C-alpha cells in the first residue's frame, strides 16, 4: 500500500471518529435542551395551577352561594310584603334570581362547560317551576297563598333545581381537589 493511501485512511478514520463523537455530542445536547424546555414548561404549568386553583375554588364557592341565595324558601322572606299579589311576588323573585345569576355569570370561565350548562339549566328550571306554581295558584291570588305554595313545592328535594346544581358544583370541585 502506498503511503498516501495510508495517510488518507488514517485521516478518514480520524474524520469518521470525530464525526461520530460530534453526532453523539449533538444528540446528547439536543436531548438535554429538550429536557430543560420540558422541565421549564412543567414549572410554568405548576405555577399556573397554583395561581388558578384558588380562583377555581372561589368560583365554586360563589356559584354555591348563588344557589343558596336563590333557594326559594330563603328568597321569599326577602321580597314578600304585606298585601302583595302573587304576580308581584313572582316578578320580584324572578328579577332577584336573574340579577343574582348575572352577578355571577363571569364565574363560568373557571368551571367546565358541562357544569355551566347544568347551572344555566337549573336557573331556567327554577323559573319554570315558579311559573308552574303560579299557574296552579292563579295570578290574582294573594301573595301569602302563592308564597306558601312555593315553599311547599320547593320543600320536596326532587323539585329543587338549586339543590341539584349545588350537588353538581360539589362533584366538580371534588374532582379538582382530589
What Rg value do the Cα atoms of the chain yield, rounded?
33
State the residue range of the domain holding 69.
Answer: 51-177
Q: Is residue 84 part of a domain?
A: yes
Q: Quick one: pLDDT at residue 106?
A: 93
Which pLDDT belongs to residue 49? 66
139 found inside a domain: yes
- Would you say residue 55 lies in a domain? yes
**Helix intervals (H) in 70-142:** 72-79, 86-103, 113-137
Helix then strand then coil, % of the chain, to nearest 5 = 90, 0, 10
Establish if 148 belongs to a structural domain.
Answer: yes
Residue 1 has what pLDDT?
Answer: 65
Judge whether 9 lies within some domain: no
CA distances, 126 to each of 31, 56, 105, 173 (Å): 57, 25, 16, 23
Question: 31 in a domain, yes or no?
Answer: no
Q: State the pTM of this model.
A: 0.71
What contacts 45, CB < 8 A, 6 or more positions away?
none
Q: What is the pLDDT of residues 54-113, one digit of tens each?
A: 899 999 999 999 999 999 999 999 988 888 888 899 999 999 999 999 999 999 999 999
> In the prediction, which pLDDT does 71 show?
92
How many separate domains does the chain show? 1
Task: Show Cβ contacts of residue 158 under 8 Å, excluding neighbours closer than 6 positions.
Answer: none
Asked whether residue 2 is assigned to any structural domain, the reply reads no
Q: Each residue of 120-177: pLDDT tens digit?
A: 999 999 999 999 999 888 766 788 889 999 999 998 878 789 999 999 999 999 988 8
C-alpha atoms less than 13 angstroms from C-alpha of 165 in its C-beta half-sphere: 29
Model pLDDT for residues 9-64, shown as the tens digit of each residue: 888 888 888 888 889 998 999 998 889 888 888 887 777 667 788 899 999 999 99
Report the pLDDT value the prediction gives residue 155, as an integer from 0 to 100: 87
Task: Specify if 168 maps to a domain.
Answer: yes
**In the prediction, which pLDDT does 103 show?**
94
Amino acid at each position: 500500500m502506498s503511503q498516501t493511501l495510508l495517510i488518507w485512511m488514517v485521516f478518514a478514520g480520524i474524520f469518521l471518529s470525530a464525526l461520530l463523537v460530534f453526532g453523539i455530542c449533538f444528540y446528547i445536547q439536543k436531548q438535554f435542551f429538550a429536557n430543560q424546555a420540558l422541565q421549564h414548561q412543567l414549572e410554568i404549568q405548576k405555577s399556573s395551577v397554583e395561581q388558578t386553583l384558588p380562583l377555581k375554588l372561589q368560583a365554586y364557592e360563589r356559584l354555591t352561594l348563588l344557589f343558596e341565595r336563590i333557594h326559594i324558601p330563603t328568597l321569599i322572606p326577602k321580597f314578600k310584603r304585606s298585601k302583595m299579589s302573587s304576580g308581584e311576588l313572582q316578578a320580584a323573585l324572578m328579577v332577584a334570581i336573574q340579577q343574582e345569576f348575572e352577578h355571577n355569570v363571569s364565574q363560568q370561565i373557571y368551571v367546565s362547560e358541562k357544569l355551566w350548562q347544568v347551572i344555566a339549566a337549573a336557573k331556567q328550571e327554577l323559573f319554570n317551576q315558579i311559573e308552574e306554581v303560579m299557574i296552579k295558584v292563579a295570578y290574582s291570588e294573594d301573595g301569602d297563598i302563592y308564597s306558601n305554595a312555593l315553599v311547599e313545592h320547593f320543600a320536596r328535594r326532587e323539585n329543587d333545581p338549586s339543590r341539584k346544581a349545588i350537588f353538581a358544583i360539589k362533584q366538580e370541585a371534588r374532582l379538582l381537589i382530589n
